[in-house]
Structure 1
């Protein structure tokens, strides 16, 4: 089943400011979160979840059929 990802505007801006290496890792972290729906918070409401990469993190909420990425970070 294909899932959908929405990126908040601030996430798009943050990705633009990262190095190519940082952007790649954050996108891999988003992809890892997306393919693990068992780790998603309950759709709707204000519940969120964090996913971590080696040097990155992604904060997201869920909706039926996908996730919305609210914030990202990279420590590299």
Structure 2
């Protein structure tokens, strides 16, 4: 199972404002690697009406779940 495809599908199903909020949340996570958990660990970041769950790696993150409640 390729989880990245599922995340892309979830993004494609969001309305424009939901897509924008989720992408801004991902961008905020990427901009602060010092806030990531240790490599191999997971975390969830929340914004006003969305969440992004990710696994941290030494060189980046992998988003494995997201949602928007707007």
Where does structure 2 lack aligned partners over 5 or more consecutive residues? none
Aligned to 1:53: 47
Q: Which structure exhibits the higher relative contact order, with contacts defined as CA atoms closer than 8 Å and separated by 6 or more residues?
A: 1
Aligned residues between the structures:
68
**2: distance between equivalents of 1:69 and 1:8?**
7
Where does structure 1 lack aligned partners over 5 or more consecutive residues? 1-6
User: Could you say which structure has the higher helix fraction?
Assistant: 2
- TM-score, normalising length from structure 1? 0.82
Instruction: Pick from 53, 58, 64 the counterpart of residue 64 of structure 1.
Output: 58
Superposition misfits of 4+ residues, deviation over 6 angstroms: none
- TM-score, normalising length from structure 2? 0.89
RMSD: 1.3
Aligned to 1:3: none
TM superposition shift of 1:38: 2.1
